[in-house]
Amino acid sequence: MYNIEHILPVLVPLTALFAVPLIYFFRYQRDIREGVSLFASVFMFLIALMVFKNYYEGKKIFIHLIDLTPTISLQFKADGAAVLFSLIASFLWII
């Protein structure tokens, strides 16, 4: 396995973060609300599939965001359990 730095681990939570306010904003317009929810869930599932594909090929995906102190940094890593969980959770959101 080798490491690659990629934006994909951040896109999964950001998709939900952007979708929730839109779903709330369109709470009285059922068709638009459901369309936003469906688009966000399919988009998140596709991102999770891309992360799974990279992990299956032996790549460890991560992104380093910021160093908080010289010994502490903020980063997202996609290990096996995280990849499996994101794939299952994003698929269940579609249902």
Q: Do 27 and 33 form a contact (C-beta atoms < 8 A)?
A: yes
Using one digit for the tens of pLDDT, what is the confidence trace for 49-62? Answer: 998 988 888 888 88
Using one digit for the tens of pLDDT, what is the confidence trace for 60-95? Answer: 888 888 899 999 998 888 888 888 998 999 999 888
- CA–CA distance from 28 to each of 24, 31, 33, 57 (Å)? 9, 9, 8, 44
Q: Do 69 and 16 form a contact (C-beta atoms < 8 A)?
A: no
pTM of the model: 0.82
